[in-house]
């Protein structure tokens, strides 16, 4: 890969379950970004205009980015493009019985946690389409975690798998106990998800976990309902981007 340039940015492209997040990062700090429903090279090029790029890194929660897309991106931007897959060298260790099935978004978030909180054992709660709860120990080792439905999925499932429950929006009143069907469903989903995260953190403390890192599209919604005694959870909105930068820099040094 090319030698690191001064005063330049790393372009990160994160294809999640519902949208693509394109970001410019200065170190581990995201300075600008856009969201795309589908990958459109022209929009990415326009987004990068006026900026000097050190390189780019791509990550997909599903299949790896098509090699033709990566080649077009590399040609258009004239930079190295790291397309992360399960063979990519990582700045963290992964202890997982089925590493080939481990979502690359979870890997990137774990790498971000290790980069931003070095030497700390943390629980990463990514409240996106799915809720993932992953443990990264103080030696930068991914120890595994849990996956359950995300907030939108919980509300949608209650509507689609029952006869009479309505489709309820995430936004709205969240009482301790619902006073009608909509608030009962919303409170159940949001407070239930917060309790799941809080319980996982409490269990993780027995394994030395010291910090809870919350990220994902529903992080701000869940955060007020967490019950984490004697600790301050951190909302790290751009944890995955930090992880992608960490992985890019690690490969740059090889």
What CA–CA distance (Å, rounded) separates 65 from 233?
33
Q: How far apart are CA 105 and CA 243, in angstroms?
A: 9
- List Cα–Cα distances, 254 to 3, 27, 30, 247, in angstroms: 11, 18, 24, 11
Close Cβ partners of 50 (under 8 Å, ≥ 6 residues apart): none
Structure tokens at 152: 């939108």
Q: Which residues form the catalytic set?
A: 105
Q: What are 154's two structure tokens?
A: 């919980």
Q: How many CA atoms lie within 13 A of 96 on its CB side?
A: 22
Token pair recorded at residue 27: 């170190």
Residue with the two structure tokens 């489709």:
167
Contact status, residue 23 vs residue 70, Cβ threshold 8 Å: no
Find the helix packing angle between 181-205 and 151-160, rounded to 10°: 140
List the strands of the sheet with 20-26, edge to edge: 29-36, 20-26, 9-15, 53-60, 81-83
Distance CA 39, CA 134 (A): 28
Residue (of 65, 109, 225) closest to 56 by Cα position:
65
């Amino acid at each position: 890969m090319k030698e690191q340039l001064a005063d330049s940015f790393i372009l990160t492209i994160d294809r999640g379950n519902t949208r693509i997040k394109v970001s410019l990062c200065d170190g581990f700090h995201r300075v600008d970004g856009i969201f795309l429903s589908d990958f459109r090279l022209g929009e990415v090029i326009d987004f990068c205009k006026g900026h000097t790029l050190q390189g780019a890194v791509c990550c997909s929660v599903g299949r790896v980015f098509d090699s033709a897309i990566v080649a077009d991106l590399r040609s258009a931007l004239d930079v190295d493009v790291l397309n992360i897959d399960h063979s990519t060298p990582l700045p963290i260790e992964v202890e997982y019985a089925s590493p080939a099935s481990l979502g690359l978004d979870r890997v990137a978030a774990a790498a971000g946690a290790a980069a931003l909180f070095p030497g700390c054992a943390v629980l990463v709660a990514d409240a996106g389409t799915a809720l993932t709860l992953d443990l990264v120990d103080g030696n930068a080792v991914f120890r595994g975690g849990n996956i359950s439905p995300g907030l939108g999925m919980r509300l949608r499932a209650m509507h689609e798998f029952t006869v009479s429950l309505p489709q309820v929006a995430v936004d709205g009143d969240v009482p301790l106990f619902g006073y009608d069907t909509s608030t009962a469903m919303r409170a159940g989903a949001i407070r239930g998800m917060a309790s799941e995260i809080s319980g996982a953190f409490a269990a993780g403390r027995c394994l030395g976990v010291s910090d809870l890192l919350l990220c994902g599209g529903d992080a701000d919604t869940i955060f007020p309902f967490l019950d984490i005694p004697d600790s301050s959870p951190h909302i790290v909105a751009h944890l995955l981007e930090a992880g992608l930068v960490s992985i890019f820099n690690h490969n740059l040094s090889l």
